[in-house]
Amino acid sequence: MLANYLIGLREGLEAGLVVGILVAYVRKLGRADLLPRLWLGIAAAVIVSLGTGAILTWGPYGLSFQAQELLGGGLSAIAVAFVTWMIFWMAQHGRSLKGELQTRLDAAIAGAGLGVVLVGTLSVGREGVETALFVWAAVSSSGSAVGGTIAAIGGIVSAAGLSWLVYRGFVRINLSRFFTWTGLFLVVVAAGVLSYAIGDLQEAGAIPGHGVIAFSMAAVVPPSSWYGMLLAGVFNFTAEPTWAQVTAWGLYLAVVAPLFLGRLHERRPAAAPRSLPDPASSPA
Protein backbone atom coordinates (compact mmCIF):
# COMPACT_ATOMS: atom_id res chain seq x y z
CA MET A 1 0.00 0.00 0.00
CA LEU A 2 2.97 2.31 0.54
CA ALA A 3 3.76 2.07 -3.17
CA ASN A 4 0.20 3.09 -4.11
CA TYR A 5 0.27 5.98 -1.63
CA LEU A 6 3.54 7.30 -3.08
CA ILE A 7 2.24 6.90 -6.62
CA GLY A 8 -0.83 8.94 -5.73
CA LEU A 9 1.29 11.49 -3.87
CA ARG A 10 3.82 11.96 -6.66
CA GLU A 11 1.34 12.10 -9.53
CA GLY A 12 -1.07 14.21 -7.49
CA LEU A 13 1.67 16.68 -6.65
CA GLU A 14 2.61 16.93 -10.33
CA ALA A 15 -1.02 17.61 -11.23
CA GLY A 16 -1.33 20.10 -8.36
CA LEU A 17 1.80 21.91 -9.51
CA VAL A 18 0.38 22.14 -13.04
CA VAL A 19 -2.94 23.51 -11.77
CA GLY A 20 -1.16 26.03 -9.54
CA ILE A 21 0.99 27.29 -12.41
CA LEU A 22 -1.97 27.69 -14.75
CA VAL A 23 -4.25 29.40 -12.21
CA ALA A 24 -1.51 31.74 -10.98
CA TYR A 25 -0.55 32.72 -14.54
CA VAL A 26 -4.15 33.50 -15.48
CA ARG A 27 -4.44 35.74 -12.41
CA LYS A 28 -1.08 37.35 -13.18
CA LEU A 29 -2.37 38.28 -16.66
CA GLY A 30 -5.42 39.87 -15.10
CA ARG A 31 -7.73 37.48 -16.95
CA ALA A 32 -9.76 36.10 -14.08
CA ASP A 33 -12.63 35.75 -16.57
CA LEU A 34 -10.78 32.75 -18.04
CA LEU A 35 -10.72 30.83 -14.76
CA PRO A 36 -14.15 29.16 -15.28
CA ARG A 37 -12.92 27.75 -18.62
CA LEU A 38 -9.70 26.57 -17.03
CA TRP A 39 -11.54 24.87 -14.16
CA LEU A 40 -13.92 23.30 -16.68
CA GLY A 41 -10.95 21.74 -18.47
CA ILE A 42 -9.48 20.52 -15.16
CA ALA A 43 -12.85 19.00 -14.19
CA ALA A 44 -13.01 17.24 -17.55
CA ALA A 45 -9.53 15.82 -16.92
CA VAL A 46 -10.62 14.48 -13.53
CA ILE A 47 -13.70 12.84 -15.08
CA VAL A 48 -11.60 11.21 -17.82
CA SER A 49 -9.15 9.92 -15.20
CA LEU A 50 -11.92 8.47 -13.04
CA GLY A 51 -13.52 6.94 -16.13
CA THR A 52 -10.22 5.32 -17.06
CA GLY A 53 -9.93 3.83 -13.58
CA ALA A 54 -13.51 2.54 -13.71
CA ILE A 55 -13.00 0.91 -17.11
CA LEU A 56 -9.79 -0.76 -15.96
CA THR A 57 -11.43 -2.00 -12.77
CA TRP A 58 -14.76 -3.30 -14.05
CA GLY A 59 -14.17 -3.67 -17.78
CA PRO A 60 -12.49 -7.11 -17.68
CA TYR A 61 -15.39 -8.73 -15.80
CA GLY A 62 -17.19 -11.25 -17.99
CA LEU A 63 -14.06 -12.15 -19.96
CA SER A 64 -12.59 -15.63 -19.84
CA PHE A 65 -9.71 -16.29 -17.45
CA GLN A 66 -7.21 -16.40 -20.30
CA ALA A 67 -8.52 -13.13 -21.73
CA GLN A 68 -8.37 -11.46 -18.30
CA GLU A 69 -4.78 -12.56 -17.78
CA LEU A 70 -3.81 -11.45 -21.28
CA LEU A 71 -5.47 -8.06 -20.83
CA GLY A 72 -4.08 -7.61 -17.33
CA GLY A 73 -0.56 -8.50 -18.37
CA GLY A 74 -0.67 -6.27 -21.43
CA LEU A 75 -2.05 -3.27 -19.55
CA SER A 76 0.46 -3.75 -16.73
CA ALA A 77 3.29 -3.70 -19.27
CA ILE A 78 1.84 -0.51 -20.79
CA ALA A 79 1.61 0.99 -17.29
CA VAL A 80 5.31 0.27 -16.76
CA ALA A 81 6.12 1.97 -20.07
CA PHE A 82 4.04 5.01 -19.08
CA VAL A 83 5.57 5.42 -15.64
CA THR A 84 9.09 4.94 -17.04
CA TRP A 85 8.44 7.64 -19.64
CA MET A 86 6.97 9.90 -16.95
CA ILE A 87 10.00 9.52 -14.68
CA PHE A 88 12.46 10.42 -17.44
CA TRP A 89 10.24 13.19 -18.83
CA MET A 90 10.02 14.86 -15.43
CA ALA A 91 13.78 14.52 -14.92
CA GLN A 92 14.41 16.28 -18.23
CA HIS A 93 11.59 18.84 -18.38
CA GLY A 94 10.85 19.55 -14.71
CA ARG A 95 12.84 22.80 -14.68
CA SER A 96 11.17 24.12 -17.83
CA LEU A 97 7.65 22.88 -17.03
CA LYS A 98 6.42 26.28 -15.91
CA GLY A 99 7.54 28.07 -19.05
CA GLU A 100 6.07 25.39 -21.32
CA LEU A 101 2.67 25.55 -19.61
CA GLN A 102 2.58 29.34 -19.79
CA THR A 103 3.48 29.26 -23.49
CA ARG A 104 0.62 26.85 -24.18
CA LEU A 105 -1.78 29.03 -22.22
CA ASP A 106 -0.67 32.16 -24.11
CA ALA A 107 -1.39 30.41 -27.41
CA ALA A 108 -4.78 29.20 -26.14
CA ILE A 109 -5.81 32.69 -25.00
CA ALA A 110 -4.87 34.14 -28.38
CA GLY A 111 -6.78 31.42 -30.23
CA ALA A 112 -10.23 29.91 -29.95
CA GLY A 113 -12.36 30.26 -26.82
CA LEU A 114 -12.19 26.55 -26.04
CA GLY A 115 -8.39 26.59 -26.14
CA VAL A 116 -8.12 27.33 -22.42
CA VAL A 117 -10.45 24.41 -21.65
CA LEU A 118 -8.29 22.15 -23.80
CA VAL A 119 -5.07 23.26 -22.08
CA GLY A 120 -6.57 22.46 -18.68
CA THR A 121 -7.86 19.08 -19.86
CA LEU A 122 -4.65 17.92 -21.55
CA SER A 123 -2.22 19.28 -18.94
CA VAL A 124 -3.97 17.66 -15.98
CA GLY A 125 -5.52 14.71 -17.84
CA ARG A 126 -2.15 13.26 -18.78
CA GLU A 127 -1.20 13.02 -15.11
CA GLY A 128 -4.60 11.59 -14.21
CA VAL A 129 -4.65 8.85 -16.84
CA GLU A 130 -1.07 7.84 -16.00
CA THR A 131 -2.02 7.67 -12.32
CA ALA A 132 -5.14 5.58 -12.99
CA LEU A 133 -3.24 3.11 -15.18
CA PHE A 134 -0.25 2.62 -12.90
CA VAL A 135 -2.29 2.51 -9.69
CA TRP A 136 -4.52 -0.13 -11.29
CA ALA A 137 -1.47 -2.18 -12.31
CA ALA A 138 0.11 -1.86 -8.85
CA VAL A 139 -3.14 -2.75 -7.09
CA SER A 140 -3.73 -5.73 -9.38
CA SER A 141 -0.23 -7.09 -8.82
CA SER A 142 -0.38 -6.66 -5.04
CA GLY A 143 -3.72 -8.45 -4.77
CA SER A 144 -5.09 -5.88 -2.30
CA ALA A 145 -7.63 -3.96 -4.35
CA VAL A 146 -9.42 -2.16 -1.52
CA GLY A 147 -6.35 -1.31 0.55
CA GLY A 148 -4.30 -0.30 -2.47
CA THR A 149 -7.05 1.93 -3.83
CA ILE A 150 -7.55 3.62 -0.46
CA ALA A 151 -3.79 4.19 -0.18
CA ALA A 152 -3.65 5.75 -3.67
CA ILE A 153 -6.61 8.03 -2.88
CA GLY A 154 -4.89 8.99 0.38
CA GLY A 155 -1.79 9.95 -1.58
CA ILE A 156 -3.82 12.06 -4.00
CA VAL A 157 -5.66 13.81 -1.16
CA SER A 158 -2.34 14.48 0.61
CA ALA A 159 -0.94 15.88 -2.64
CA ALA A 160 -3.98 18.16 -3.06
CA GLY A 161 -3.54 19.53 0.46
CA LEU A 162 0.21 19.93 0.00
CA SER A 163 -0.28 21.66 -3.36
CA TRP A 164 -2.68 24.14 -1.76
CA LEU A 165 -0.19 24.90 1.02
CA VAL A 166 2.57 25.43 -1.55
CA TYR A 167 0.33 27.64 -3.70
CA ARG A 168 -0.51 29.78 -0.66
CA GLY A 169 3.16 30.04 0.27
CA PHE A 170 2.86 28.19 3.59
CA VAL A 171 5.17 25.34 2.54
CA ARG A 172 8.21 25.03 0.32
CA ILE A 173 9.46 21.69 -1.03
CA ASN A 174 12.79 20.72 -2.49
CA LEU A 175 11.20 19.61 -5.75
CA SER A 176 14.39 18.17 -7.23
CA ARG A 177 15.04 15.93 -4.23
CA PHE A 178 11.39 14.82 -4.01
CA PHE A 179 11.20 13.69 -7.64
CA THR A 180 14.65 12.09 -7.46
CA TRP A 181 13.83 9.80 -4.52
CA THR A 182 10.28 9.01 -5.62
CA GLY A 183 11.59 8.38 -9.12
CA LEU A 184 14.09 5.81 -7.84
CA PHE A 185 11.38 4.19 -5.72
CA LEU A 186 9.00 3.97 -8.68
CA VAL A 187 11.71 2.39 -10.83
CA VAL A 188 11.89 -0.51 -8.35
CA VAL A 189 8.08 -0.69 -8.12
CA ALA A 190 7.79 -0.67 -11.93
CA ALA A 191 10.25 -3.58 -12.13
CA GLY A 192 7.95 -5.57 -9.85
CA VAL A 193 4.87 -4.64 -11.89
CA LEU A 194 6.68 -5.74 -15.05
CA SER A 195 7.50 -9.08 -13.42
CA TYR A 196 3.81 -9.44 -12.52
CA ALA A 197 2.84 -8.62 -16.11
CA ILE A 198 5.14 -11.34 -17.40
CA GLY A 199 3.52 -13.80 -14.99
CA ASP A 200 0.04 -12.88 -16.25
CA LEU A 201 1.11 -13.27 -19.87
CA GLN A 202 2.63 -16.65 -19.06
CA GLU A 203 -0.62 -17.80 -17.45
CA ALA A 204 -2.46 -16.66 -20.59
CA GLY A 205 -0.06 -18.70 -22.74
CA ALA A 206 1.34 -15.67 -24.55
CA ILE A 207 4.84 -16.22 -23.09
CA PRO A 208 6.29 -19.72 -22.56
CA GLY A 209 7.74 -20.96 -19.30
CA HIS A 210 4.71 -20.89 -17.02
CA GLY A 211 5.33 -23.11 -13.98
CA VAL A 212 9.10 -23.27 -14.57
CA ILE A 213 10.30 -21.80 -11.26
CA ALA A 214 13.74 -20.19 -11.24
CA PHE A 215 14.20 -20.50 -7.47
CA SER A 216 12.15 -20.50 -4.29
CA MET A 217 12.53 -18.07 -1.39
CA ALA A 218 9.35 -19.23 0.34
CA ALA A 219 11.35 -20.71 3.22
CA VAL A 220 13.25 -17.44 3.77
CA VAL A 221 10.38 -15.06 3.01
CA PRO A 222 7.09 -16.89 3.58
CA PRO A 223 4.35 -15.22 1.50
CA SER A 224 1.99 -15.33 4.52
CA SER A 225 4.47 -13.58 6.86
CA TRP A 226 4.09 -9.87 7.60
CA TYR A 227 7.38 -9.04 5.87
CA GLY A 228 6.48 -11.24 2.91
CA MET A 229 3.17 -9.42 2.50
CA LEU A 230 4.96 -6.08 2.96
CA LEU A 231 7.47 -6.86 0.21
CA ALA A 232 4.70 -8.14 -2.05
CA GLY A 233 2.54 -5.07 -1.43
CA VAL A 234 5.31 -2.51 -1.92
CA PHE A 235 7.65 -4.10 -4.47
CA ASN A 236 5.46 -6.90 -5.93
CA PHE A 237 7.89 -9.45 -4.53
CA THR A 238 7.25 -13.05 -5.63
CA ALA A 239 8.77 -15.85 -3.57
CA GLU A 240 8.74 -18.31 -6.48
CA PRO A 241 9.25 -16.40 -9.75
CA THR A 242 9.66 -17.98 -13.16
CA TRP A 243 12.83 -17.51 -15.20
CA ALA A 244 11.04 -15.04 -17.48
CA GLN A 245 9.95 -12.94 -14.50
CA VAL A 246 13.45 -12.90 -13.02
CA THR A 247 14.95 -11.96 -16.39
CA ALA A 248 12.45 -9.15 -17.01
CA TRP A 249 12.90 -7.77 -13.48
CA GLY A 250 16.69 -7.87 -13.66
CA LEU A 251 16.96 -6.40 -17.17
CA TYR A 252 14.57 -3.56 -16.36
CA LEU A 253 16.54 -2.51 -13.27
CA ALA A 254 19.89 -3.02 -15.03
CA VAL A 255 18.86 -0.68 -17.86
CA VAL A 256 16.47 1.87 -16.35
CA ALA A 257 18.13 2.55 -12.97
CA PRO A 258 21.58 3.47 -14.39
CA LEU A 259 19.97 5.61 -17.12
CA PHE A 260 17.90 7.48 -14.54
CA LEU A 261 20.89 8.02 -12.24
CA GLY A 262 22.96 9.10 -15.23
CA ARG A 263 20.34 11.67 -16.20
CA LEU A 264 20.41 13.06 -12.67
CA HIS A 265 24.21 13.22 -12.76
CA GLU A 266 24.08 15.19 -16.03
CA ARG A 267 21.72 17.73 -14.47
CA ARG A 268 23.65 18.22 -11.24
CA PRO A 269 26.47 20.47 -12.56
CA ALA A 270 23.94 22.79 -14.23
CA ALA A 271 22.08 23.74 -11.08
CA ALA A 272 21.86 22.73 -7.45
CA PRO A 273 18.61 21.28 -6.09
CA ARG A 274 16.14 24.04 -5.40
CA SER A 275 12.89 24.54 -3.61
CA LEU A 276 9.52 24.37 -5.27
CA PRO A 277 9.01 27.76 -6.99
CA ASP A 278 6.17 30.06 -6.19
CA PRO A 279 3.62 29.48 -9.01
CA ALA A 280 3.05 33.23 -9.31
CA SER A 281 6.73 34.07 -9.81
CA SER A 282 8.50 34.43 -13.15
CA PRO A 283 9.35 31.31 -15.21
CA ALA A 284 12.36 29.31 -14.04
Which of 14, 42, 94 shows the shortest CA–CA distance to 283? 94
The answer to whether residue 117 is domain-embedded is yes
Q: Which residues contact 188 (CB under 8 A, 6 or more apart)?
A: 235, 253
The answer to whether residue 277 is domain-embedded is no
Q: Which residues contact 222 (CB under 8 A, 6 or more apart)?
A: 228, 239
- What is the spatial distance between Cα 140 and Cα 253, in angstroms, rounded to a whole number? 21
The answer to whether residue 19 is domain-embedded is yes
- What is the spatial distance between Cα 72 and Cα 53, in angstroms, rounded to a whole number? 13
The answer to whether residue 189 is domain-embedded is yes
Note down pLDDT in tens along the chain; length 284 residues: 667 787 788 878 888 888 888 888 888 888 888 888 888 988 998 898 888 888 877 777 767 878 888 888 888 898 889 888 888 877 776 667 778 777 888 888 776 567 888 888 888 888 788 788 888 887 776 666 667 778 888 888 888 888 888 777 777 777 677 778 888 888 988 898 899 899 999 988 889 888 888 988 888 888 888 788 778 777 778 888 999 999 999 999 999 999 888 877 666 544 444 444 444 444 43
What is the pTM for the complete model shown? 0.72
The answer to whether residue 284 is domain-embedded is no
Q: How many structural domains compose the chain?
A: 1
Which structural domain range is residue 217 located in? 2-267
The answer to whether residue 274 is domain-embedded is no
Which of 223, 199, 234 shows the shortest CA–CA distance to 5? 234
Q: Which residues contact 252 (CB under 8 A, 6 or more apart)?
A: 80, 190, 191, 194
- What is the spatial distance between Cα 78 and Cα 119, in angstroms, rounded to a whole number? 25
The answer to whether residue 105 is domain-embedded is yes
The answer to whether residue 272 is domain-embedded is no
